[in-house]
Amino acid sequence: MTRLHLVRHGPTHAKTMVGWSDLPADLSDEAAIARLDAHLPSNAVVISSDLSRASDTASAIQGTRLRLPHHRDLREINFGNWEMRPFAEIEAEDPELCFAYWDNPGEARPPNGESWNEVRARVDRVVDTLIAAHTGCDLVLVAHFGVILTQVQRALDVDAQHAFGHRIDNLSVTEITRHNDGWTVGRINHRP
């Protein structure tokens, strides 16, 4: 049994589509960070995306926990040409593609970006490797909205559209456990 504690990074306050852009997290809410740190198992192994909003959040909650090197494949969705643009602008430019991407996620992709299925496959590979290397441990993965939802989809065995129905707030924890015979899901979007 391996327990995953999927933590969404601190807020960026961006009002645009932020995927692979390296925006910093606002980590000024010290009380929320302290509650998150206290909630996570003290003997957990910590890993994060290589984007600073995730890696800086991981540093803020690391404490005495073992820290693994950042992993590029734990990055947010690659939004390609949609990156750093407001949703309304993207929707006005190509409403059909925008609708397909968010309301029927799967193979649709932003121009020069990645599809939901590509994100899911990328993240699944990393998580499987981490579980194999740390079986029986608690793993804290500090990552992004899309990354966390890929694992919610996987563990609940639902389609992507259903997974997108879950809210994932900044500095929240989603708890998923990998057993020999499958997955169980604890709390989703828990705010300690």
pLDDT band at 81 (very low <50, low <70, confident <90, very high): very high
pLDDT band at 68 (very low <50, low <70, confident <90, very high): very high
Does a structural domain hold residue 36? Answer: yes
Does a structural domain hold residue 163? Answer: yes
As a whole number, mean pLDDT of residues 70-75 equals: 97
pLDDT reported for residue 132:
96
* pLDDT surpasses 90 at 105: no
- Report pTM: 0.95
Write out the residue range of the structural domain in which residue 24 sits: 2-78+115-185
pLDDT reported for residue 58:
98
Q: What is the CATH number of the domain that holds 62?
A: 3.40.50.1240
pLDDT reported for residue 57:
98
Three-state SS letters, the chain: CEEEEEEECCCCCCCCCCCCCCCCCCCCCHHHHHHHHHHCCCCCEEEEECCHHHHHHHHHHHCCCEECCCEHHHCCCCCHHHCCCCHHHHHHHCHHHHHHHHHCCCCCCCCCCCCHHHHHHHHHHHHHHHHHHCCCCEEEEEECHHHHHHHHHHHHCCCHHHHHCCCCCCCCEEEEEEECCEEEECCCCECC
Does a structural domain hold residue 99? Answer: no
pLDDT, tens digit, for every residue of 14-40? 999 899 999 999 999 999 999 999 999
Share of the chain above pLDDT 90, in %: 93
pLDDT reported for residue 88:
93
Of residues 101 and 10, the one with the higher pLDDT is 10
Does a structural domain hold residue 174? Answer: yes
pLDDT, tens digit, for every residue of 128-185? 999 999 999 999 999 999 999 999 999 999 999 999 899 999 999 999 999 999 999 9
Does a structural domain hold residue 83? Answer: no
Does a structural domain hold residue 102? Answer: no
Does a structural domain hold residue 50? Answer: yes
Does a structural domain hold residue 86? Answer: no
How many domains is the chain partitioned into structurally?
Answer: 1
pLDDT band at 103 (very low <50, low <70, confident <90, very high): confident
